[in-house]
């Protein structure tokens, strides 16, 4: 049974990648712009991977606050193994996959891990929209007012106290899981602000990476206002819960924001596609690295276990 489950998960991960590429090919958007500066491209990939490491650090910190006895390597592996599952079957599998991995490793109830992942996603979403003020420096006047208004609302939420918002999220969780006996950990302001700072670091790495991706594909100067494009567009895709991986929603928002920054329609469309492939490259790299680390961990456990060899199980 466990071997069947392992094979099923592997098949889902590979099918997720195939579906993404097929949809992009059928829509005629599987076109990438030419690369003019390879140095900027390499720098953008390094920052992309750095963002994934910082993302694992966010929920590793929260796991420690929740009392999980878990190493950073395990949270890193759990983060990378299930990143592609948000495309297929969807975001629910993405959350449950990550939660299941760390709770099994730390010997904690699945409900605690699920709540932890949802909490980290809420804080990541809020900090992603924190880059909205950069849109105030675009030539599009209609976007300037919305950018400032969005920043004001976000600032009020964080400055007053974000804990009531988190409590509301927990009440929703209890409505969805009425049989859950989960007792949430009351996060202090220090815990919340530390998590927000780590989340800002995640988006800073990804935004800078996307900016240098733009620099690598263009010979003209790129406005600094484009530093907020990736995080805002990605958060818009995260809010589209019924769309696997936010496909289409992120690209649509990205094209709109790039047009506001000053790029042409063709350039915006090509960069939106290149941005999806760029991020997908990071997710595949994380999956491969995490998979190798996971296999190494299981190999060590099997060959150092005192259990007789005939009773050992190699499971995911």
- What is the rounded (10 degree) CA torsion for 151, 152, 154, 159? 130
pLDDT (average), residues 48-53: 95
Task: For tokens 């650090």, name the residue.
Answer: 57
Q: Is the peptide bond before 7 cis (omega within 30 degrees of 0)?
A: no
Structure tokens at 49: 């991977």
- CB atoms under 10 Å from CB of 45, counted, come to 18
pLDDT of residue 205: 96
Residue 224 is inside which H or E element, if any?
A: none
SS3 268: helix
**Taking 80 as the threshold, does the pLDDT of residue 190 lie above it?**
yes
Per-residue pLDDT band for 312 (boundaries 50, 70, 90) equals very low
Higher pLDDT, 163 or 6: 163
Closest CA to 124 of 180, 54, 190: 54
Question: Which residue matches tokens 């099923």?
Answer: 8
Q: Which residue has the higher pLDDT, 77 or 160?
A: 77
Work out the pLDDT band at 245, boundaries 50, 70, 90: low
pLDDT confidence tier of residue 311, bands split at 50, 70 and 90: very low
Q: How many residues does the chain have?
A: 316
**Is pLDDT of 142 > 80?**
no
Question: Per-residue confidence at 55, pLDDT binned at 50, 70, 90?
Answer: very high
Whether the per-residue pLDDT at 128 is higher than 80: the answer is yes
Predicted confidence (pLDDT) per residue in 215-229, tens digit: 999 888 888 888 999
Cα separation of 203 and 211, whole Å? Answer: 12
User: Which pLDDT score, from 0 to 100, does residue 1 have?
Assistant: 53
At CA 253, angle to CA 275 and CA 205, rounded to 5? 45
Average confidence (pLDDT) over 69-93: 81
Distance between start and end Cα atoms, the chain: 12
pTM equals: 0.79
Cα distance between residue 69 and residue 125, in whole Å: 26
Give the pLDDT score at 23. 66
Helix (H, G, I), strand (E, B) or coil at 77: helix
> Across the chain, what does the average pLDDT equal?
79
Q: What integer pLDDT is reported at residue 105 of this predicted model?
A: 85
What is the residue whose two structure tokens read 């929703």?
172
């Amino acid at each position: 049974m466990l071997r069947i489950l392992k094979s099923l998960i592997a098949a889902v991960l590979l099918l997720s990648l195939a579906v993404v590429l097929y949809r992009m090919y059928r829509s005629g958007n599987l076109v990438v712009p030419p690369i003019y500066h390879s140095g900027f491209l390499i720098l953008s990939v390094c920052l992309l991977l750095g963002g994934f490491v910082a993302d694992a650090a966010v929920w590793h910190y929260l796991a420690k606050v929740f009392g999980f006895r878990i190493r950073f390597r395990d949270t890193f592996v759990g983060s990378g193994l299930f990143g592609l599952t948000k495309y297929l079957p969807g975001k629910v599998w993405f959350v449950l996959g990550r939660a299941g991995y760390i709770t099994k490793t730390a010997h904690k109830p699945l409900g605690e891990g699920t709540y932890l992942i949802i909490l980290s996603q809420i804080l990541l979403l809020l900090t992603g929209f924190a880059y909205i003020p950069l849109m105030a420096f675009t030539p599009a006047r209609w976007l300037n007012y919305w950018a400032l208004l969005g920043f004001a609302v976000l600032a009020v939420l964080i400055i007053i106290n974000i804990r009531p918002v988190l409590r509301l999220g927990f009440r929703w969780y209890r409505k969805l899981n009425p049989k859950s006996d989960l007792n949430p950990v009351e996060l202090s302001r220090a815990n919340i602000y530390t998590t927000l700072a780590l989340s800002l670091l995640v988006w800073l790495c990804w935004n800078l990476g996307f900016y240098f991706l733009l620099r690598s594909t263009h010979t003209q100067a790129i406005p600094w206002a484009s530093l907020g494009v990736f995080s805002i567009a990605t958060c818009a895709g995260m809010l589209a819960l019924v769309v696997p991986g936010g496909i289409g929603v992120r690209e649509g928002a990205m094209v709109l924001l790039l047009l506001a920054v000053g790029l042409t329609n063709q350039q915006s469309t090509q960069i939106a596609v290149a941005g999806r492939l760029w991020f997908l490259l990071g997710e595949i790299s994380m999956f491969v690295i995490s998979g190798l680390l996971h296999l190494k961990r299981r190999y060590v456990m099997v060959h150092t276990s005192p259990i007789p060899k005939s009773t050992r199980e190699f499971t995911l």
